Amino acid sequence: MFSRTVTMLSCLLTTAALAGSAAPSAAQVQDSPAPAPVAVPGGIEPPADYVIGPEDVLGVLFWRETEMSGDVTVRPDGRISLPLIGDVVAAGLTPAALKATLQGVAAKFLTDPNATIVVREIKSRQVFITGEVATPGAYPLIGPRTVMQLIALAGGVNEFADKGAIAVIRIENGQQRRYAFKYDDVARGKSLQQNILLKPGDTVVVP
């Protein structure tokens, strides 16, 4: 009889211990980390004076509205297309202004629209270099860049380039303007005012 009582007590104690280990305490529940928020896919940091232009790639993200979110490319006509919203003019706007525009349009479908604009790629801001350099062509202008930096990015001038007759061609107020650039002077630290900061659309000509 005694052994049977001991066996029953042992079983009860084992069951209680298992129940206690399975149930989390109040402290454990409170200390459990909250679910991590959904990360917003990254983009690039645009220049301070950036406005959206054709061929730029943007991420449009509506909170909890995945069917209205996605990456879009600005068309040559300056517009983007989004589900439900349709065509919206994006070119010429800052990301903040486009966000406000999209939220205003989305308010017709959503109670409290919350949009985020992520700049993925900037293709509308480009500078060009042509002539006697290793790799002529178009280069993105995402941050400050001088004439000398663009030449270096293009692989440097060729052996037979006329380094004293390099020019920057710029359109200002509808008029074409030419800025002289003498490579050797700038390379020696002279006449550094020639090494101007480039603007979108500038073309550096290396004869």
For the chain, which domains are there? 57-121 (3.30.1950.10), 126-206 (3.10.560.10)
Average pLDDT, the chain: 84
SS3 202: coil
- Return the pLDDT at 27: 44
Q: How far apart are alpha carbons 199 and 141 in whole angstroms? A: 8
The pLDDT confidence band at residue 118, using thresholds 50, 70 and 90, is very high
Q: List the single range of 34-43, 99-108, 143-152 with lowest mean pLDDT.
A: 34-43
> CA-CA-CA-CA torsion for 196, 148, 169, 175, nearest 10 degrees?
-20
Structure token pair of residue 46: 């645009």
| Interior angle at CA 43, CA 201 and CA 102, nearest 5 | 85
Query: Judging by beta carbons within 10 Å of its beta carbon (0-12, 13-18, 19+), is residue 175 exposed, middle or buried?
Result: exposed
pLDDT (0 to 100) of residue 28: 46
Residue 146 CA to residue 194 CA, distance in Å, equals 9
DSSP string, 120-168: EE--SSEEEEEESBSS-EEEE--S--BHHHHHHHTT-B-TT--TTSEEE
Which pTM value belongs to this model?
A: 0.66
pLDDT at 21 over 90: no
pLDDT recorded at residue 3: 44
Residue whose pair of structure tokens reads 């550096």 in the numeric block: 204
Distance CA 182, CA 13 (A): 92
Residue 173: C-alpha distances to residues 37, 102, 141 (Å): 48, 31, 20
203-206 and 126-131 strand pairing: parallel
Q: Is residue 146 exposed (0-12), middle (13-18) or buried (19+ Cβ within 10 Å)? A: middle
Q: Which residue has the tokens 């060009």?
A: 128
